[in-house]
Chains A and B, each alone.
Chain A
Amino acid sequence: MKRSSAVQLTVVAAMGLAARAQQPPPDPCSPATFNGQVCQAAIRQGGFCSQGAWVPMSYPQGYPDYYDAYGKYVQGGGAVNPLQAEHCRRPRVARGGFGATGAAYHSAGG
């Protein structure tokens, strides 16, 4: 039989490690790279521009929370290298590309 749990673990583990190995881009709402204007825009727009590319980002808290965290970081002597404002094209997000068939049925389960 071809399927082998040992192979599965190796392959998927490699995928997981690769995902973790990517460094996240600097975030305008993180204390060490805080930029108030860019942070507010990022919260509003669900992302920001970094090195010419749009970085989608979800912010569960409001701007004051990030500002407070930044203030505490600075008070504690933390160094800040603010993320510079950049302009880039925000990718247009299409939605609704899954679900059309299921809408016609009572359930997609069985």
Chain B
Amino acid sequence: MRRVASVPRPSWQARVEESGLIWHSDPAAYWNESAFYEFTAREVEVLESATNALAGMALKAAQHIIDYKLYEELAIPACAVPLIEASWESEPLSLYGRFDFAYTGDGPPKLLEYYADTPTSLLEAALVQWRWLEDVLPRRDQFNSIHERLIACWKGFARYLPDDRIDLCSIDDAEDGMTVTYLMETARLADLAASIFPINEIGWNGEEFIGPHERALGAVFKLYPWEWMVREDFGRYLSSAKTIWIEPAWKMLLSNKGILPVLWKLYPDHPNLLAASFEAPDASAKWVRKPLLGREGANVTLHFDGEKVATGGDYGKEGFICQELAPLKAFDCKHAVIGSWVIGDDENCSAGIGIRESESPIITNTSQFVPHVID
């Protein structure tokens, strides 16, 4: 794995906007094609294998949480437990997720966290970096079948979705809105009827959830975390409504950082895991504190060599977990995190990667997305 300097395409801004990436520079530089990462085929195989293995391990960890009712450790409210258990039993449709790895090409990838419920940076991983490859290095390859796999996954879902239809919703935000717009396009390419709307336009008529045009919502993809949904006003109707939600409620277990100590307990010393616990380690250790329900690197604190590096944010009131500090190597003074995508839920669900980098060892929502190639 190496970082290679590259000349940006003339009018690269227009090129990435054509693919829907409208937040490439504002409020901060986000898309960065002045470099790319290069992987060997062997390194890609390592990432793919780790992703497939961890996807299976995560399901076992979810089963463990349910079996031993570890909901309190994960700060999951009691009202959410019946939803989680019912959705686990009925085994509904699961579209996607993203494992974030610390990986340098030396040694195995180490799982930093799992965005199993509402992962973003999908558009740039699936489409924008692929078009960059076609423009800049058309004879090279990329670890990226995300787009094709999404379409295939929707096709597989079609027979289970009422009226062959999926409605998609998110908050009214450029990135989230474009993510669901992209997913809508992949659903349409799979011959599903699809529409998008802001999540606050969902209605409740006393019997069922309805969309902006008074149509009952048979199946909804929501880019909105379950831990928020269950606590909001309409959360009380979730258990009685017939709506199929994608992602399903049990993903709440996997997107919670509490999954990391559970995985470590079930698979101690697994090469793709970092030691993790619900308690702080001794003062001599190098470790990271992460909020149970945090996202995008917010409210994370690194402890190493007697120093602390922390990010701000609004997360953490539900509690924290502690995780061994990952061995990070800087490439041109940049720390890279590999987002490894899972599409569907079969044994070979690993679908490709996207890379975000930062001068800080904590990747946040201002970290840059950098494309990649396979050597």
Contacts and interface: CB of A to CB of B under 8 A. Distances in A.
Nearest to B231: A101
B216 A56 contact: yes
A69 to B, nearest CB: 20
A2 B210 CA distance: 33
B56 A12 contact: no
Interface in B229-253: 229, 231-235, 237, 244
A74 interface: no
A109 B207 CA distance: 29
Given A46-B213, A100-B233, A102-B228, A109 B201 contact: no
Instruction: Tell me what chain B mostly uses at the interface: helix, strand, loop, or mixed.
Output: mixed
A51 B233 CA distance: 31
B91 A98 contact: no
B296 interface: yes
Given A11-B90, A46-B213, A102-B228, A97 B56 contact: no
A19 B162 contact: yes
Interface in B344-361: 345-346
B63 A99 contact: no
Given A11-B91, A16-B159, A108-B228, A93 B175 contact: no
A91 B296 contact: no
A103 B210 CA distance: 21
Contacts of A97: 202, 204, 232-235, 237
A13 B160 contact: yes
B199 interface: yes
A42 to B, nearest CB: 10
Contacts of A95: 200-204
Interface in A82-110: 91-110
A60 to B, nearest CB: 8
B232 A98 contact: yes
Given A47-B214, A104-B314, A110-B119, A99 B200 contact: yes
B56 A99 contact: no
A109 B205 contact: no
A58 B203 contact: no
Nearest to B346: A5
Nearest to A101: B228
- Residue with the greatest number of chain A CB neighbours at <10 A, chosen from B120, B232, B237: B232
Contacts of B179: 109
Nearest to A99: B200
Interface string B108-135: 0000000100111100000000000000
Given A107-B296, A109-B176, A3 B91 contact: yes
A110 B200 contact: no
Contacts of A8: 91-93
A77 B296 CA distance: 64
A23 to B, nearest CB: 14
B244 A15 contact: yes
B264 interface: no
Contacts of A54: 205
A11 B86 CA distance: 12
Given A5-B345, A101-B228, A110 B118 contact: yes
A19 B165 CA distance: 12
Task: Identify the 3 closest CB pairs spanning chains A and B, nearest first.
Answer: A109-B120, A97-B234, A110-B295
Interface of B: 56, 59-60, 63, 88, 90-93, 115, 118-121, 159-163, 170-171, 173, 175-176, 179, 198-207, 210, 213-216, 218, 222-225, 228-229, 231-235, 237, 244, 255, 295-296, 314, 345-346, 365
Given A5-B345, A19-B163, A107-B120, 19 more contacts: A3-B63, A12-B160, A12-B244, A13-B159, A16-B162, A46-B213, A46-B214, A56-B215, A58-B213, A93-B205, A95-B202, A96-B200, A97-B202, A99-B171, A99-B224, A107-B175, A108-B171, A108-B176, A109-B295
